[in-house]
């Protein structure tokens, strides 16, 4: 039985196809201005990678900011629940999660079955998010992929007094004009992020094992400073950006198994595949796969 999970985030859209406990295909693409188009592109990518068609999928669950705009999904589930379930899949002993995405940070505490029992979120400003780091990378004219390693070369972490993206950018620009090395500026910015997310994690309670998910988990500078601040190592999956989509796929499998002879669930799934629109979805996916 093939199922899929799709996570439409603020910066990237991810899709995962699973069969039993195996990830068959995964695909990541940028989220554009239209969530539905981003969902179609992500789904088309994993279908092409797997060699499957939309009809081969028993059930699809959508999550993330754009989850309500995935017309081919049979159900939608919050990103908190999906990240909890996805982390449990990769790390069954995990109890504390820091998910650092494009426009928010989430601290989640989970139980042994991957159910979330507490969470806290920073979604009021860009501080500590992927967007915050993008702004700083642009200011310093350094590729985003290089700022983490460069921050570890700092001889001194320059104190950044404000974590507001606007004010922090002004502070960083002032330090740059004063001739402060870029590595030291980045060291201060990364240290400030670690302090901020540590405060967020403390709100839900710290319990090993600890996992970092999301795109910022690929930033070694943030990871090392968060680990030092918390005093425990972080577990990171081979591709930390697909954790939410994996969780959604696991929920999809559960939904498919629950359906059985349950007519209401079958009708719900069938409704996601509106016959009047299905031909259009298939054409979109086929066109994208052929591109």
Could you name the CATH architecture of 94-236?
2-Layer Sandwich (3.30)
Question: What stretches of the chain show up as alpha helix (H) in DSSP?
Answer: 35-50, 79-90, 130-140, 144-151, 165-177, 182-204, 220-230, 243-259, 263-272, 275-290
C-alpha of 202 from chain center: 21
Q: Give the per-residue pLDDT at 288.
A: 52
Model pLDDT, residue 262: 58
- Would you tell me which CATH number, out of the four given (3.40.30.10, 3.40.50.300, 3.40.50.2300, 3.30.420.40), belongs to the domain 2-81+243-290? 3.30.420.40
Q: What pLDDT score does 267 carry?
A: 56
Q: What is the pTM (predicted TM-score) of this model?
A: 0.87
- How far is it, in rounded angstroms, from Cα 250 to Cα 234? 23
233: tokens are: 């190592």
Q: What digits encode the pLDDT tens for the residues 26-79?
A: 999 999 888 889 999 999 999 999 999 988 999 999 999 899 999 899 999 999
**In angstroms, rounded to a whole number, what is the distance separating the alpha carbons of residues 175 and 244?**
37
| Residue spans in the chain of domains classed CATH 3.30.420.40 | 2-81+243-290, 94-236
How far apart CA 181 and CA 135 sit, in angstroms, is 18
Q: To which residue do tokens 């400073």 refer?
A: 225
Residues 6+ apart with CB under 8 A from 181: 154, 155
Residues of the chain with pLDDT under 70: 123-128, 162-163, 165, 260-291
Phi, psi of 7 (to 5 degrees): -120, 110
pLDDT value at residue 123: 57
234 in Cβ contact with 100 (< 8 Å):
no
C-alpha angle with apex 121: 160 to 25, nearest 5 degrees? Answer: 105
């Amino acid at each position: 039985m093939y199922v899929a999970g799709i996570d439409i985030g603020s910066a990237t859209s991810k899709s995962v196809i699973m069969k039993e406990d195996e990830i068959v295909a995964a695909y990541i693409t940028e989220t554009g201005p239209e969530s539905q188009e981003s969902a179609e592109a992500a789904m088309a990518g994993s279908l092409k990678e797997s060699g499957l068609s939309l009809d081969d999928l028993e059930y699809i669950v959508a999550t993330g900011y754009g989850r309500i705009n995935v017309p081919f999904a049979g159900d939608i589930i919050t990103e908190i629940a999906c990240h909890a379930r996805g982390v449990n899949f990769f790390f069954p002993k995990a109890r504390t999660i820091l998910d650092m995405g494009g426009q928010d940070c989430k601290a989640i505490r989970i139980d042994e079955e991957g159910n979330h029992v507490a969470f806290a979120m920073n979604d009021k400003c860009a501080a500590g998010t992927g967007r915050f780091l993008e702004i700083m990378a642009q200011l310093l004219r350094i590729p985003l992929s290089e700022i983490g390693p460069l921050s570890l070369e700092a001889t001194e972490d320059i104190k950044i007094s404000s974590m507001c993206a606007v004010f922090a950018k002004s502070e960083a620009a002032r330090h740059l004009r004063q001739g402060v090395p870029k590595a030291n500026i980045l060291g201060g910015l990364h240290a400030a992020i670690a302090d901020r997310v540590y405060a967020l994690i403390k709100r839900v309670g710290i319990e090993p094992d600890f996992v970092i998910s999301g795109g910022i988990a690929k930033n070694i500078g943030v990871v090392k400073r968060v680990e030092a601040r918390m005093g425990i190592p972080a577990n990171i999956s081979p591709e930390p950006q697909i954790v939410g989509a994996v969780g959604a796929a696991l929920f999809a499998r559960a939904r498919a198994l629950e359906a059985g002879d349950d007519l209401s669930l079958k009708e719900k799934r069938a409704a996601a595949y509106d016959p009047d629109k299905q031909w259009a979805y298939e054409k979109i996916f086929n066109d994208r796969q052929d591109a």
